Amino acid sequence: MARYIFVTGGVVSSLGKGLSSASLAYLLQSRGYKVRLRKLDPYLNVDPGTMSPFQHGEVFVTDDGAETDLDLGHYERFSGVTAKKTDNITTGKIYSDVLKKERKGEYLGKTVQVIPHITDRIKEFIKHDTSKEDFVICEIGGIVGDIESLPFIEAIRQFSNDIGKKNALFIHLTLVPYLKASDEIKTKPTQHSVKELRSIGVQPDIIICRSERPIPLEHRKKISLFCNVDIKNVIETVDVKTIYEAPISFAKEKLDVQVLNYFKLKSKKSNNLTPWKKITKITLNTKKHVNIAIIGKYVELKDAYKSLDEALTHGGIANNIKVNLVRIDSEKLKVSEIKSKLKNVSGILIPGGFGKRGTGGKIEAIKYSRINKIPFLGICYGMQMAIIEFARNQLKIKKATSSEFDKTGVHIIGLMNEWERGGKKIKGTDKDLGGTMRLGSYDAILKDKSKIKDIYKNRLIKERHRHRYEVNIAYKDKFEKKGLIFSGLSPNNKLPEIIELKNHPWFIGVQFHPEFKSRPLSPHPLFSSFIKAAKNHR
């Protein structure tokens, strides 16, 4: 049976529970154990798919087509374990499952209540589909003390009783602030947070203290005493310069050793930190840099393009160069400013997006990179915009557009059923929007002698999708005659997956999101190649 590790947070959010869980997963794996990671989110949305990136950051898409919390991205990147639909659940999903059952009369006339019905459903989620793992790490979103997270904490308390305390471990991550004015480190918030946790029946076994500076022994002793935790289990995590240092710093603090000790397990191997040391060194010591512009709608929120930022950094690691991200708000980008704003960039990236706002700036920037031969990568919406730009300016279809934001133009981009019959438009779109998203991993077949095939070195690739609109395949020949090649197609040849420009050093658009599959220890070839092209650009 798997052993369960529950990670809760206290004092403030954004302390890095996801990164801590992911680092612990890596360390346990490198000790020879099989690990799975899960996230329990206390909000009422059924999944984060409908949430704005401004609110919640990126929506991470899994191979099996789930729209999940961005922490699952950290999990995959650090542990290498492909996340599944069943690894992320929200309060909204729990309630909707319970209410569906209630409507069917499956509770046999009982009063349906938070305890036991909601908590039972949470426990089912924690446990199902996990037989072969040695450890399941479950991160509880939000912080202790939030009204929303109460049923989750109650459920993990019950769960630990159900499976026996020796099979469940509670880790609590808190903030240990440093007060500049009095030059002091404060343990009181941690004490209060643990008190709060204990008031709902959970005694942490390990406390991870996030701090700006190292925590002296006397303060650790205080935390140990007041929070009733073994001093060896008071683990500090001091701010790291790069996230790749996190596994190294947790290993130094013996987090993995303490976890194994708790479960009375032996280490099967010594942990391997070499790959993390190597990439930390590259990240911190590389002096040379390359500027890459990301032109999108959500650039102001750091987490909105989390996987993308990471994948670009990985591309930099592969090329021994630091990637400087120049974030440009597409809504504010004026045509007159394009030249000056893009003057010092060696690569232009247009990420995924939805809706009309900001499309004008994106299209102009694509034109600029096409004409000035600046390496360009268009992802999903970015590829669709590149198609529109080329159609308008090279194929001279002035009204070329996407039915996503213009119902009257020439729909080079649209819903499949808008042109299904012999390339002819057959019906309107509005009622078809719901449930028509193409989500998760799909195959694409790459064209021989194309740049993309050189990059992937494979004929068949599998990449993750999250879009509703497609490039209309009926225009393929017209584009190709003018030099824009459809170098990747869906296996049935109906859906353009990749475009690339002839006579350009590096101009590629992809209908999928390669960033979800890039990992620091194995950078995605598309990002490595893009950064290489940018590096060679000047």
**Footprint of ligand GLN (CB under 6 A):** 352-354, 380-381, 404, 466-469
Please tell me whether residue 132 adopts helix, strand or coil conformation.
coil
Q: Which of 56, 172, 411, 513 is catalytic?
A: 513
Considering the complex, state which of residue 204 and residue 509 has its C-beta at the smaller distance from ligand GLN.
509
Q: Give CA 274 to chain center in angstroms.
A: 24
Q: Residue 94 CA to chain centroid, in angstroms?
A: 22
Catalytic residue check, 380:
yes
C-alpha closest to that of 40 among 21, 24, 53, 54: 21
Name the β-bridge partners of 236: 209
Catalytic-residue membership of 515: yes
Least spacing, CB of residue 500 vs ligand GLN, in Å: 18
Q: Is the dihedral of CA 430, 432, 433, 434 positive or negative?
A: positive
- How does DSSP assign 430-466, residue by residue? GGG-TT--EEEEEEEEEPTT-HHHHHH--SEEEEEEE
By beta-carbon proximity to ligand GLN, the closer residue of 352 and 523 is: 352
Minimum CB distance to ligand GLN smaller for 211 or for 403: 403
Angle at 514 between CA 512 and CA 519, to 5 degrees: 160
Residues linked to residue 484 through DSSP beta bridges, in sequence order = 501
Contact 368, 499 (CB under 8 A): no
Instruction: For the CB of residue 381, give the shortest distance to ligand GLN in the complex, in Å.
Output: 3
Q: In what order do the strands lie in the sheet with 234-238?
A: 88-90, 35-41, 135-140, 3-9, 168-175, 206-211, 234-238
Nearest residue by C-beta to ligand GLN? 352
Report the nearest approach of ligand GLN to the CB of residue 358 (Å): 12
- Helix (H/G/I), strand (E/B), else coil: 394: coil
Q: Check 314, 380, 463, 470 and give the catalytic one.
A: 380
- Exposed / middle / buried, residue 80 (Cβ in 10 Å: 0-12, 13-18, 19+): middle
Please tell me whether residue 65 adopts helix, strand or coil conformation. coil
- Shortest Å distance, C-beta 62 to ligand GLN: 15
The least CB distance from residue 470 to ligand GLN, in Å, is 7
Residue nearer to ligand GLN on the CB measure, 414 or 523: 414
Please, what is the minimum distance in Å from the beta carbon of residue 129 to ligand GLN? 28
Q: For 112, what's the count of Cα atoms within 13 Å in the CB-facing half-sphere?
A: 19
Q: Which one, 262 or 516, has the nearer CB to ligand GLN?
A: 516
Nearer to ligand GLN, 381 or 475 (CB): 381
By annotation, the residues acting in catalysis are: 380, 513, 515
